[in-house]
Amino acid sequence: MLDRPLAPPPVEVIVAVTQALHREARLLDNEDLDGWLAMLGKDVSYRLELKSRRFRADRSPPFPLGPGVIFNEDLGRLKMRVDRLKSGFVWAEDPPNYIRRAVSNVEVLATRADNEVRVHSVLGMHRNRIDGTTRLLTAGRTDLWRSEGSAWLLAAREIVLDHSVLPDSNLNAFF
């Protein structure tokens, strides 16, 4: 089968998916974690791999078991993380930290499947923590969003974190 370039998705799809990204960020900022879980597909994959800083010409092979992860979650694992955050025992989140996410550089691309789009975006996460300090985390995201009924659901997300040393004492937050 010949690969033909795909036509861009219809404008309504681009608008709907972009709006879904913004809505997702707002739900997370407001700690509406159940609302966020409801935006995820049942088969969702949510991943953030570890990496190391290497010379461009480095010849060493990848690790046989891979680099390890910061997140490698399916829906059950994300629910477990949400359960922990809602347990009332996560002292690092009480009083709440001030978190604000800004989504940017959104590109919505067609895929072979009619009901799925590939989405690139950049997330900036401002965290003003209870310890009084503020961190800005940035990450790139490559998503797969799927339309199911009237809603767009997140089916897969690959996150790339732009920090070689995490500048914060926890990641009790989703990208």
Partner 1 sequence: MNDNIADLVDSRTGRQSRSIYASEDIYRQELERIFGRCWLFLVHTSQIPKPGDYFRTFMGEDDVIVIRQKDGSIKAFLNSCTHRGNRICRADRGNARAFTCNYHGWSFSPDGALAGVPLESEAYFGELDRTKFGLIPVTKVAEYKGLVFGCWDANSPSLDDYLGDAKFFLDVWLDAMPGGSALLGETQKMVLGTNWKLPVENVCGDGYHLGWAHAGAMAAVQSMDLTGLSVGNSGVDLDGGLSVAGMNGHMVLSALDGVSGYAFYPDPKPILEYLEANRQTVIDRLGEVRGRQVWGAQVNITIFPNLQLLPGLNWFRVYHPKGPTQIEQWTWAMAENDMPEAVKAQILENQCLTFGLAGLFDNDDGDNLTACTEQSRGWRTAQMDVYTNMALGRSGKREGFPGDIASGLVSEHNQRYFYRRWQEHMMAETWAEVPTYNINSLTDEEAEHA
Positions in the binding site for partner 1 (CB under 8 A): 48, 50-55, 58-60, 63-72, 77, 80-81, 83-85, 87-92, 129-131, 133, 164-172
Nearest to 103 by CA among 157, 173, 175, 166: 175
Nearest to 147 by CA among 43, 74, 46, 41: 41
Q: Least Å distance between CB 150 and partner 1? A: 32
Distance, CA of 78 to CA of 118 (rounded, Å): 21
Considering beta carbons, is residue 8 or 167 the nearer one to partner 1? 167
Q: Are strands 116-128 and 151-161 parallel, antiparallel or unpaired?
A: unpaired
Considering beta carbons, is residue 22 or 51 the nearer one to partner 1? 51
Q: Least Å distance between CB 29 and partner 1? A: 18
Q: Least Å distance between CB 156 and partner 1? A: 18
Considering beta carbons, is residue 147 or 172 the nearer one to partner 1? 172
Considering beta carbons, is residue 4 or 54 the nearer one to partner 1? 54
Ranges of beta strands (E only) in 29-150 are: 40-49, 69-73, 98-110, 116-128, 134-148
The helix (run of H) or strand (run of E) holding residue 156 is strand 151-161
Q: Least Å distance between CB 98 and partner 1? A: 15
